[in-house]
Amino acid sequence: MDINATLNIPPDDVELMRDMLHEIQKLRAALLEDVILTEEEAAKLLKVSLSTLRTWRKNGWVPFFSEGKLIKYEREALLKAYKVHFGRVTHYEVLRGIEHGLKRRS
């Protein structure tokens, strides 16, 4: 189903609308790119050096995949593996646990 519409934008607002569309497209691209990480992005996310990340990968501690010669990581899988291996609980998870505990008591 196609939908056609006509939008009349005052000439003074055309450039503003273009700028807004450009910013929305940049945000969308950033969200999509954040799912798959390069080695550098993955190391930065975990706040470790590239050599540490590579050691963890070779030891099988973090999941990865390759596209040709490029090694890549899925963000969520990487974070889950990190938490499982190192037993780390994020502040967000602690706060959610507290929030759920408070909701159950009330």
CATH architecture assigned to 36-105: Orthogonal Bundle (1.10)
pLDDT value, residue 44? 93
What does the domain layout of the chain look like in residue ranges? 36-105
- What pLDDT score was predicted for residue 27? 80
Higher pLDDT, 67 or 32: 67
pLDDT at residue 105, as a whole number: 47
Task: Say if residue 86's pLDDT is above 90.
Answer: no
> pLDDT for 35-83, tens place per residue?
889 999 999 999 999 999 999 999 998 999 998 999 999 988 998 888 8
- pLDDT surpasses 80 at 23: yes
Cα→Cα distances 66→34, 55, 63, 83, Å: 17, 16, 11, 22
Q: What's the half-sphere exposure (Cβ side, CA atoms, 13 Å) at 7?
A: 7
Residue 42 is predicted with a pLDDT of 93
pLDDT value of position 53 = 95
State the average pLDDT for the chain: 82
35: its two tokens: 């799912």
Tell me the whole-structure pTM to 2 decimals: 0.53
Contact 63, 74 (CB under 8 A): yes
Q: How confident is the model at residue 106 (pLDDT cuts 50, 70, 90)?
A: very low
What is the rounded distance in angstroms from the CA atom of residue 40 to the CA atom of residue 82?
16
